[in-house]
C-alpha cells in the first residue's frame, strides 16, 4: 500500500483546495482519461498521454517474453545488464534495481571517461538495453554505436546482445528491425517520465533480475484508492499540497529519503515533477538532498515544501508545508504520477509536454564541431578557466561572490551543473551543500547531460529565479563515436555550451568553470565556497 501524511499546518493550508479537487472529481477523471482537465491548450497532448493510469494491467503481457529472454541470456552466461538511456528511460530502472538490491549499470552520460569505463566492464557477459522513446536521442544512439563496435571487436554478434526498447515506428524501432535486434515496444500513450511501469522500466529491471510483477501488483493494489474522489485519497492530498503551494509561491520541493529505504527515489521524482510542471514561467523545483539533516532540509526556506520519503512522520523544518510519503515502490510510482497531474491542474500548466527541452538539443547540435573549452575565457585563475564573469571581477573568488550576490533572497535558487565523470569526480556533489550553507537558499545538483532530460526543462521554462554554476573539463581520453563525425568529448562539450547559451538567451545567469586538474580544482572551489 501507500500513504501520505501531511503536517497539521500543511493540511489546514490546503483544506479548501482539497475540497475543490474532490468536488471536481479530478482523481476519477484522470483515470477515465479526461483530457479536458488541464484546459483547452493541453487537450491535444493530454488525450495522447494518459495510458499510464492502467499500466498495472496493460504491461503484464511483457512478463512472459521478458522471463524467457532473461533465462536464455543467463544460460549463455550473460548476467551483466547495461542500460543505455536518458531521463525517463533510465531513472525508473535505476530506482527499481536499487530497491531490490540488483546490479544494473546505467549509462546515461556522454562523458568519454564514463563511456570508456562501461565498455571495458565485462563485455563478454554484457547485454546492452538501448532505450529511447523518441528513437532519436543522440546520447542513446551514440551509446548504441559504441556497444555495437565493442561487441564486434570482442567477436560477439551484436544481435545477440543488444535489446531495444522504444515506441512502435520510431527511428530506433526501424533500425532495430532492420538489424535483427530484439525489440520491446513501449506504450505510445505514455510519456517518457510517466513510463516507470512500461517496457522502459520493466525490461532492464527484469533482465537484471527484479521480479517486476511485484511492481505491477503493488500499483494495481492502490489503483482504486488513487482514483477515488475522496479527501482521504493520498494522491489528491499530495498533489494538492504541491500544486496549491506552488501557485501561492511556495514552489521548491525538498526531498529527503529515509536511510532505511535509500532507493534514490528522489531523483526519479525530480524528473517527473520538474519536467512536468516547469513551463510558462511556473512550476515546482525539486531539491534532492542526501539526508534529513542536510542543508535545505533541516533549514528549509519559507518557499519550500518538505517531503520525507520512506517514513510517515512529517519532517520538522523551517516551513509549515511538510509531508511524509511511504509505500511499496510500484504504488509510489503511480501515486507520484497522479499527484503530479493534480498539481499541474492547480498550477495551470500542461503536465505532459516539455516545450523547452528541444531548445537545448538544437543548441548542442549547433555547437558541434568544437568543445566547451574552445571559447576564450573571461579570466583564468590558477588553472581554472572562468566564463560568464560580470563587470569588475578579477578572480574566481570575485566571480563566485557576484553569483551569490545576484541571488533573489526570497525565491532564488542555484543549480550546479557538473559535466564531469560521476565515478571519478564524486566530490563535485559536495558543492551543493556548500552553496546551500553559504546562500541560505535552495541549491540543486545535476550531472550533465543527465539533468538536461530532467530539471533542464524547469531551468528554462520555470520561474526566472535561478542562477547556474556549470562545471566542465577535458576527458582523460576522448572516444570516437562510430559512424559520427564528432567524438563523445566534442558532444558533451557541445551539450554544455548549448545549454548555457539557451539559458543566457532566456536571461538566466550562467557562470562556467572549465577545470583542467579536476580533483585539485574541485578542492579549491570547495575552499572558496566554504
pLDDT digits (tens, 9 = 90+) for 163-221: 999 999 999 999 999 999 999 999 999 999 999 999 999 999 999 999 999 999 999 99
The reply to whether 7 and 80 lie within a common domain is no
7 domain residue, yes or no: yes
Q: Are residues 394 and 467 in the same domain?
A: yes
Q: Which residues of 137-170 are buried (b: 16+ CB within 10 A; e: fewer)?
A: bbbbbbbbbbbbbbbeeeeeebebbbbbbbbeeb
What is the rounded distance in angstroms from the CA atom of residue 175 to the CA atom of residue 136?
Answer: 11
In a domain, 204, yes or no: yes
Q: Give tens-digit pLDDT for 217-236.
A: 999 999 999 999 999 999 99
71 and 172 share one domain: yes
Torsion of CA 214, 173, 451, 382, to 10 degrees: 130
From 215, 242, 265, the end of a domain falls on 215
CB 471 within 8 A of CB 417: yes
CA–chain centroid gap for 6, Å, is 25
* Domain stop point among 182, 215, 248: 215
In a domain, residue 38? The reply is no
> Cis link prior to 449 (omega < 30° from 0)?
yes
Q: For residue 403, give the CATH number of its domain.
A: 3.40.50.10490
Residues 6+ apart with CB under 8 A from 397: 381, 528
d(CA 456, CA 449): 9
Chain position carrying cell 558532444:
491
Residue 420 CA to residue 186 CA, distance in Å, equals 31
Tens of pLDDT, residue by residue, the chain (530 residues): 899 999 999 999 999 999 999 999 999 999 999 999 999 999 999 999 999 999 999 999 999 999 999 999 999 999 999 999 999 899 999 999 999 999 999 999 999 999 999 999 999 999 999 999 999 999 999 999 999 999 999 999 999 999 999 999 999 999 999 999 999 999 999 999 999 999 999 999 999 999 999 999 999 999 999 999 999 999 999 999 999 999 999 999 999 999 989 899 999 999 999 999 999 999 999 999 999 999 999 989 999 999 999 999 999 877 889 999 999 999 999 999 999 999 999 999 999 998 877 677 777 777 775 544 457 899 999 999 999 998 889 999 999 999 999 999 999 999 999 999 999 999 999 999 999 999 999 999 999 999 998 899 999 999 999 999 999 999 999 999 999 999 999 999 999 999 999 999 999 999 999 999 999 999 999 999 99
The DSSP output letter for 319 is S
Phi and psi at residue 262, to the nearest 5°: 50, 50
What residues make up the domain containing 520? 357-529
Residue 48 lies in a domain: no
Provide the domain count of the chain. 3
How many CB atoms are located within 10 Å of the residue 527 CB? 10
pLDDT tens, residue by residue, 345-356: 999 999 999 887
Cα–Cα dist 134/87, whole Å? 12
In this structure, what C-alpha cell is assigned to residue 516?
A: 583542467
User: Both 67 and 158 in a single domain?
Assistant: yes
Tell me the C-alpha distance between 352 and 294, whole Å.
32
- Asked if 87 contacts 360 with a C-beta cutoff of 8 angstroms, the reply is no
Residues 198 and 233 in one domain: no
The owner of cell 560477439 is 156
Computed on alpha carbons and rounded to an integer, the radius of gyration of the chain in Å comes to 22
In a domain, 277, yes or no: yes
Are 475 and 364 within one domain? yes
- 61 vs 58, 186, 270, 309, CA distance in Å? 7, 11, 29, 31
Residues 233 and 206 in one domain: no
Considering the domain architecture, whether residues 481 and 371 belong to the same structural domain is answered as yes
Q: Return the pLDDT at 369.
A: 54
Shared-domain flag, residues 294 and 375: no
Contacts of 527 (CB under 8 A, 6+ apart): none
Residue 42 lies in a domain: no
By the 10 Å C-beta count (0-12 exposed, 13-18 middle, 19+ buried), 103 is classed as exposed
**Same domain for 174 and 136:** yes
pTM reported for the whole predicted model: 0.97
Report the alpha-carbon distance of residue 446 to residue 452 in Å, rounded. Answer: 9
Asked if 65 and 21 sit in the same domain, the reply is: no
Is 468 inside a domain boundary? Answer: yes
Same domain, 85 and 154: yes
Residue 47 covered by a domain: no
C-alpha to C-alpha distances, 506 to 12, 282, 462, 463, nearest whole angstrom: 37, 14, 11, 11
End-of-domain residue from the set 321, 347, 373: 347
* Sequence-distant (≥ 6) Cβ neighbours of residue 514 within 8 angstroms: 372, 373, 377, 384, 385, 386, 387, 472, 473
Say how many residues make up the chain.
530
Amino acid at each position: 500500500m501507500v500513504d501520505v501524511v501531511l503536517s497539521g499546518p500543511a493540511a489546514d493550508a490546503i483544506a479548501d483546495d482539497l475540497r475543490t479537487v474532490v468536488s471536481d472529481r479530478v482523481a476519477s477523471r484522470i483515470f477515465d482519461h479526461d483530457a479536458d482537465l488541464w484546459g483547452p491548450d493541453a487537450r491535444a497532448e493530454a488525450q495522447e498521454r494518459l495510458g499510464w493510469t492502467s499500466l498495472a494491467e496493460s504491461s503484464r503481457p511483457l512478463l512472459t517474453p521478458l522471463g524467457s529472454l532473461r533465462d536464455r541470456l543467463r544460460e549463455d552466461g550473460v548476467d551483466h545488464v547495461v542500460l543505455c538511456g536518458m531521463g525517463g528511460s533510465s531513472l525508473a530502472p535505476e530506482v527499481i534495481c536499487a530497491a531490490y538490491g540488483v546490479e544494473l549499470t546505467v549509462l546515461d552520460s556522454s562523458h568519454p571517461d564514463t563511456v570508456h569505463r562501461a565498455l571495458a566492464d565485462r563485455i563478454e557477459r554484457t547485454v546492452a538495453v538501448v532505450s529511447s522513446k523518441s528513437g532519436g536521442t543522440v546520447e542513446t544512439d551514440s551509446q548504441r554505436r559504441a556497444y555495437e563496435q565493442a561487441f564486434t571487436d570482442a567477436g560477439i554478434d551484436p544481435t545477440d546482445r543488444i535489446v531495444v526498447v522504444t515506441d512502435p515506428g520510431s527511428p530506433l524501432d526501424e533500425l532495430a528491425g532492420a538489424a535483427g535486434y530484439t525489440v520491446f515496444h513501449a506504450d505510445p500513450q505514455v510519456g517518457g517520465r510517466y513510463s516507470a511501469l512500461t517496457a522502459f522500466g520493466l525490461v532492464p529491471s527484469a533482465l537484471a533480475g527484479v521480479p517486476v510483477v511485484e511492481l505491477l501488483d503493488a500499483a494495481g493494489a492502490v489503483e482504486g484508492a488513487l482514483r477515488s474522489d475522496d479527501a482521504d485519497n493520498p494522491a489528491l492530498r499530495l498533489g494538492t499540497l504541491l500544486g496549491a503551494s506552488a501557485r501561492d509561491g511556495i514552489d521548491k520541493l525538498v526531498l529527503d529519503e529515509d536511510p532505511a529505504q535509500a532507493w534514490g527515489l528522489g531523483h526519479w521524482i525530480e524528473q517527473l515533477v520538474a519536467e512536468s510542471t516547469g513551463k510558462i514561467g511556473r512550476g515546482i523545483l525539486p531539491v534532492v538532498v542526501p539526508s534529513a539533516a542536510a542543508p535545505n532540509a533541516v533549514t528549509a526556506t519559507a518557499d519550500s515544501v518538505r517531503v520525507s520519503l520512506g517514513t510517515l512522520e512529517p519532517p520538522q523544518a523551517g516551513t509549515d508545508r511538510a509531508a511524509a510519503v511511504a509505500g511499496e515502490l510500484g504504488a509510489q510510482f503511480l501515486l507520484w504520477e497522479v499527484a503530479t497531474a493534480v498539481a499541474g491542474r492547480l498550477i495551470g500548466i500542461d503536465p505532459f509536454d516539455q516545450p523547452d527541452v528541444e531548445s537545448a538539443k538544437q543548441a548542442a547540435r549547433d555547437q558541434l564541431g568544437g568543445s566547451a573549452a574552445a571559447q576564450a575565457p573571461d579570466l583564468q585563475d590558477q588553472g581554472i578557466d572562468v566564463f560568464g564573469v560580470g563587470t569588475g571581477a578579477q578572480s574566481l573568488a570575485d566571480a563566485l561572490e557576484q553569483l551569490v550576490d545576484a541571488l533573489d533572497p526570497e525565491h532564488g535558487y542555484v543549480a550546479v551543473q557538473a559535466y564531469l565523470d560521476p565515478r571519478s569526480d564524486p566530490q563535485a556533489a559536495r558543492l551543493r551543500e556548500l552553496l546551500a550553507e553559504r546562500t541560505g537558499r535552495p541549491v540543486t545538483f545535476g550531472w550533465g547531460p543527465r539533468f538536461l532530460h530532467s530539471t533542464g526543462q524547469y531551468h528554462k521554462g520555470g520561474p526566472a529565479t535561478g542562477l547556474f554554476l556549470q562545471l566542465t573539463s577535458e576527458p582523460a581520453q576522448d572516444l570516437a563515436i562510430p559512424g559520427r563525425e564528432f567524438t563523445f568529448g566534442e558532444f558533451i562539450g557541445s551539450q554544455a555550451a548549448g545549454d548555457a547559451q539557451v539559458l543566457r538567451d532566456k536571461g538566466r545567469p550562467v557562470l562556467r568553470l572549465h577545470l583542467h586538474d579536476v580533483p585539485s580544482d574541485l578542492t579549491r572551489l570547495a575552499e572558496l565556497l566554504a
